[in-house]
Amino acid sequence: MALQSMRSSLGRAAGLGSAKGGVTQWWAERVSAVALIPLTLWLAASLIKHSGSDYAGVIAWLQSPLVALLLVLLLISLFSHLALGLCVIIEDYIHSGAKFAALLIVRFTCFSLCVTGILATLRIALIT
């Protein structure tokens, strides 16, 4: 309490520490998690429904505009959530210089996979 009262009114109002964004990653992980609940349940149900379908059936499903949109939204939420989660694990367990290399590899790989997945989805929806 003593420390709290020593903070300036402006500091309390702004509510930001020296990092200026301490909860940003934590919050982004929760937002992507909430988005992924309906999106992944939809994907799981759809994949179950199409588990007996042939190539033509799957392509016809993927060509629906709503399916393409939901898949793109899922890929963005999935890979941002994945990158945030893996980075937390790396930050918790790797304390050597390899930490920075691992964080960069995770970020680059997740971003690349996300773009690759979106391109494949759009190729099916718009070109095939």
Partner 1 sequence: MTSTADRPPAPEHSSGPLSPHLQIYRPQLTSVLSFAHRLSGIALSVYSVVLVAWLMAAAAGSGPFSSMQAVMQSLGGQVLLGAGVFCFFLHLCGGIRHLFWDAGYGFELTNIYVSGWAVVAASVALTALAWLASSKM
The crossing angle, in degrees rounded to 10, of helices 65-93 and 98-122 is: 170
Q: Which CB, 73 or 86, lies closer to partner 1?
A: 86
Site string for partner 1, 59-98 (x = CB under 8 A): x--x--------x---x--xx--x--xx--x-----x---
Tell me how far apart the alpha carbons of residues 29 and 91 are, in angstroms, rounded to a whole number: 15
Neighbours of 2 (CB within 10 A): 5
Name the DSSP letter for residue 125.
Answer: I
Q: How far is the CB of 113 from partner 1 (least distance, A)?
A: 5
**111 close to 79: Cβ distance less than 8 angstroms:** yes
Residue ranges in contact with partner 1 by CB under 8 A: 30, 33-34, 37, 40-41, 44, 47-52, 55, 58-59, 62, 71, 75, 78-79, 82, 85-86, 89, 95, 113, 116-117, 119-121, 123-124, 128
